[in-house]
Amino acid sequence: MATIVQNGILVTASDTFQADLKINNGKISMISNHINGEKGDTIINAANKYVLPGLIDPHTHLALNGTLDDFETGTKAAASGGVTTIINFTDPDNSQTFLEDLMEWKNKAKKSLIDYGFHSIINKCNSDVLKEISRLPEEGVTSIKLFTAYKENMVNDDEIYLLMKAAKKEGMVTNVHAENGRIIDQLIEEALDRKNTKAIYHAYTRPASLEAEATARVLRIAEITEAPTYIVHISSEEALTEFKRAKERGVNAFGETCPQYLVLDENYLKKEDKEAVKYICSPPLRTKRDQEALWDKIKLGAISTIGSDHASHPYVDGKEKGVNNFTKAPNGLPGIESTLQLLYHYGVYEGRITLPKLVEITSQNPAKIFGLYPRKGSLNIGSDGDIVIFDPNKSSVITKETQKQGTEYNVYEGMEVQGDIDFVLSRGEVIVMDKQIVGKTGRGKYLYRNRFCDWPREEVGTE
């Protein structure tokens, strides 16, 4: 039995055209002007609707200690927003090796509704760690993440150099959280000494200049090592300037931003503290000018991907701890299920980007960078039947009352957005229909990702 999507407007990273699409055994098997169904086939009429490849969210923190979304609830939220693949971050425990940590995270993910992979966070550097990195690709992990901030995870410059070299040798991508954590820690201490404890001081103690400095420094190290490097959650025009300079020098770098930096700004941190603490994330929310710079660089291709950076910290016994001291609020925002709606409304509907650009940054590029293309990220014959059917004529309001994520709040509360999701298919199986989860948890597959290479050939390969 096949699944056939008829009369839809197919959207790829380069084109938009009307066609039917057929999925057999989880794979796209035919794209044609007209495809007839047979007895037992599932027929979906997508007339006047967009047929998009499922989103790949390359930046999630499901099952993180202290958060509310595990892989069951978190992937339900993801699927309801059109995300059919996630790449989640591990959270290393110093009592374990990084490979033991990875095995633990694979077990945590067994209830996933959608397909998934992992980035391994590396927070120390010694000869044993460098050897372990060489074994990660055997386990399907072809990317690591380094931090230049947060004392518990921060690595210094010589460690970044050695870890990047090791990753480069194994054909892996190095993700980096780029902020100057040592100076930030000093600024935080000074703010607290002056009794500056309101939520807005989270932004003031993590200025864009320190994001820019760390971005420039990391990319200089990447230039020397020739390691493919992915800067996560770029939030500011200053950091973008340094990123652009590195790209112009030929550094093999990719940039990511997040929906919150495109539609929220630092004024949310100036609200009454009981509300403002909900918006504490790192890097912090920036200015309207930074927003427009990010949209501009998406349009021009300097920003390659969008990641939600989903972290579902509760309000009670979580965010509320920061009401009288911003440093006590856990960093991170929930929002995995709102990415497509926000990007369509504020990007496509308001004329900032095209539909093909939306597909490029949410599906094709993350698939190519992280070793999933062409199995994921495209509407190609032989690709997985991960499909979103999106109705541009509907509208909806984002609210905590209808969300699938576990938090008691929604940082996009009350936003009216044009366009809504009718169906989500994962490997040809309908998992979301009319806003209801109809797929079974635990059906998601662990993805063994390919090593990095520059923008792989267009042919669909074998698994």
The 10s digit of each residue's pLDDT in 180-233 is 999 999 999 999 999 999 999 999 999 999 999 999 999 999 999 999 999 999
Spatial distance between the Cα atoms of 197 and 211, rounded to a whole number of angstroms: 21
What is the average pLDDT value for the chain, to the nearest integer?
96
User: Residues in the chain, how many?
Assistant: 463
Say if residue 272 is exposed, middle or buried (CB neighbours under 10 Å; 0-12, 13-18, 19+): exposed
pLDDT at 64 exceeding the cut of 80: yes
Q: Which run of H or E residues covers position 144? A: strand 143-147
Query: What's the pLDDT band for 462 if we cut at 50, 70, 90?
Result: very low
Q: Count how many Cα atoms sit within 13 Å of the Cα of residue 396 in the half-sphere of its side chain.
A: 24
Q: Write the CA distances from 369 to 59, 349, 376, 377, 381, integer angstroms.
A: 13, 27, 11, 11, 20
Q: What is the pLDDT of residue 458?
A: 40
Nearest to 87 by CA among 213, 4, 172, 169: 172
> CB–CB of 214/155 below 8 Å?
no
Alpha helices per DSSP H over 194-236? 200-204, 208-225
Topology of domain 1-377+384-463 in CATH is: TIM Barrel (3.20.20)
Say yes or no to pLDDT of 33 above 90: yes
Q: What values do phi and psi take at 419, rounded to 5? A: 95, 145
- Whether the bond between 374 and the residue before it is cis, its omega within 30 degrees of 0, is yes
For the stretch 314-364, pLDDT in tens is 999 999 999 999 999 999 999 999 999 999 999 999 999 999 999 999 999
Phi-psi region at 351: left, alpha or beta (left = phi > 0; alpha = psi -120 to 50):
left
Q: How confident is the model at residue 272 (pLDDT cuts 50, 70, 90)?
A: very high
- The H or E element spanning position 339 is helix 339-342
Where do we find the tokens 């940590």? 101
Write the DSSP assignment of 348-375 as a string of letters.
Answer: IITTSS-HHHHHIIIIIHHHHHTT-TTT
Element (H, E) at 387: strand 387-397
Cβ(326)–Cβ(197) below 8 Å: yes
State how far the Cα of 285 lies from the Cα of 266, in Å rounded to an integer. Answer: 5
Q: What is the pLDDT, as a whole number, of residue 252? A: 96
The CA–CA distances, whole Å, from 80 to 169, 307, 324, 433 equal 38, 16, 35, 9
Which of 126, 28, 129, 83 has its CA nearest to residue 259?
83
Cβ count near 199 (within 10 Å):
27
- Whether the per-residue pLDDT at 26 is higher than 80: the answer is yes
Strands 55-60, 436-437: pairing is unpaired
pLDDT of residue 95: 87
Task: Identify the pLDDT of residue 456.
Answer: 46
Instruction: With CA atoms as reference, report the closest residue to 264 among 245, 246, 241, 281.
Output: 281
Q: Which of 60, 54, 50 is nearest to 15 (CA)?
A: 50
Q: Are 98 and 53 in contact (CB under 8 A)?
A: no
Rounded to an integer, what distance in angstroms lies between the CA atom of residue 32 and that of residue 16?
A: 14
**452 three-class SS:** coil
Q: How much is the pLDDT for 49?
A: 98
Q: How far apart are CA 463 and CA 457, in angstroms?
A: 15
Cα angle for residues 73, 77, 423 (degrees, 5° grid): 130
Q: What is the pLDDT of residue 454?
A: 53
**Residue 327 phi, psi dihedral angles, 5° rounding:** -70, -15
Least reliable range by pLDDT among 94-103, 159-168, 452-461: 452-461
Pairing of strands 229-231, 173-177: parallel
Mean pLDDT, range 397-411, rounded to an integer: 98
φ, ψ (nearest 5 deg) of residue 99: -70, -40
Q: Which residues contact 19 (CB under 8 A, 6 or more apart)?
A: 8, 10, 31, 32, 33
Q: What is the mean pLDDT of residues 63-70?
A: 97
115-121, strands of its sheet edge to edge: 55-60, 83-89, 115-121, 143-147, 173-177, 229-231, 253-257, 305-306
